[in-house]
Amino acid sequence: MAPCPESQHLPLVGGDATSDNDNINAPEGKSRVTVIGSGNWGSVAAKLIASNTLRLASFHDEVRMWVFEEVLPSGEKLSEVINRANENVKYLPGIKLGKNVVADPDLEHAVKDANMLVFVTPHQFMEGICKRLVGKIRAEAEAISLIKGMEVKMEGPCMISSLIREQLGINCCVLMGANIANEIAVEKFSEATVGYRESREMAEKWVQLFNTPYFMVSAVQDVEGVELCGTLKNVVAIAAGFVDGLEMGNNTKAAIMRIGLREMKAFSKLLFSSVKDSTFFESCGVADLITTCLGGRNRKCAEAFARNGGKRSFDELEAEMLQGQKLQGVSTAREVYEVLSYRSWLELFPLFATVHEICIGRLPPAAIVEYSQS
């Protein structure tokens, strides 16, 4: 596999885009959408999209959703239950997805007719999924990644959108934001940000596909900035969870969030000089940071970790508290740490470095507020 290039600096032109017009058609007619992933957020994404494909003439009604097949305690297959009940009983119980969502456990079959691919699996599975998809997708397919996380290789960090772009040879936008899936599932108002590289027209099409009255989407031309915000805020959420577990109070948590945001911005700009300051004020930036540090699974598991004095591992807490859902912040903290070590940047990012060292037991949870003394 070709290595992921890092720190690509692309020219930035044009402004931000929002759209709710149904006026952009795929070259050969209606677009077909497949969602690759069916966890908590994947299922909510399918629900959002399915409400729009029914409404907008430029999309086929049917939304295919690839399901990583599981056998439920009842003995039934998850994909069969989703298609019978129109509900993901394991990852999004109690929510109807829309009758036009079709669960498909066969990855190749799920993507073969699609020209709009929505990637939304935990990031650790993406390299394997991309390998399976090489040569199996339509040449004109466009992708968007809702995945928060990155891969770290010998050559350096590789964003998931770069992995998709390079391995599959297709364009890839990203969608990130203050989006705790269960809240959007019950249609509570929130916002999200599409990050795009060159094609504003394609970004507008993704906005059309996701935008609803309760899910307001806008687009910015800063794919790396948007994706890094979504990825790095999970590390800050782990730190916020430690603060909660140690009952340090709101001032401390606000301080950790501010320091975290500063490190997110500095790290992103060191990796990609094209990253825009304004991106950190979009939903994908400060808003996602706030919601993830107040709610969300990373904060919750880190709180439990600190309450147990670091004596119960994150693997154990994840298995016990998340019932099959995946933690992203701990693995992202390790990946960020690898980048910091490799580039001799550890001292520049004390919060990021300390989070990882607490996660692996090298430092106690209380060190989350002691790093600044070193």
Ligand X SMILES: NC(=O)c1ccc[n+]([C@@H]2O[C@H](COP(=O)([O-])OP(=O)(O)OC[C@H]3O[C@@H](n4cnc5c(N)ncnc54)[C@H](O)[C@@H]3O)[C@@H](O)[C@H]2O)c1
* 146 touching ligand X, by CB under 6 A: yes
Given the residues 47, 233, 276, 300, select the one marked as catalytic.
233
Measured CA to CA in angstroms, residue 295 lies from 108, 243, 261, 326, 359 at distances of 36, 13, 17, 15, 19
Contact 68, 116 (CB under 8 A): no
**171 binds ligand X, rule: CB under 6 A:** no
68 is an interface residue for ligand X by CB under 6 A: yes
Contact of 192 with 203, CB cutoff 8 Å = no
Binding status of residue 285 toward ligand X by CB under 6 A:
no
Q: Nearest distance from residue 163's CB to ligand X, in Å?
A: 13
Is residue 149 a contact residue for ligand X (CB under 6 A)? yes
Interaction of residue 326 with ligand X, rule CB under 6 A: yes
* Residue whose Cβ sits closest to ligand X: 39
Q: Which is nearer to ligand X, 41 or 337 (CB)?
A: 41
Q: Are the CB atoms for 255 and 242 separated by under 8 Å?
A: no
Is residue 233 annotated as a catalytic residue, yes or no?
Answer: yes
Nearer to ligand X, 178 or 369 (CB): 178
Closer CB to ligand X, 56 or 160, in the complex:
160
Determine, following the binding rule CB under 6 A, whether residue 34 of this chain makes contact with ligand X: no
Smallest gap from residue 122 Cβ to ligand X (A): 5
Q: Judge whether 157 and 335 are in contact, CB under 8 Å.
A: yes
Examine residue 89 and tell whether it contacts ligand X (CB under 6 A): no
d(CA 267, CA 142): 28
By the 10 Å C-beta count (0-12 exposed, 13-18 middle, 19+ buried), 323 is classed as exposed
Query: Cα separation of 124 and 242, whole Å?
Result: 24
Using CB under 6 A as the criterion, which residues of the chain lie in contact with ligand X when the complex forms?
Answer: 37-42, 68, 70, 91, 120-123, 125, 146-149, 179-181, 325-326, 328
Write out the catalytic residue numbers.
233
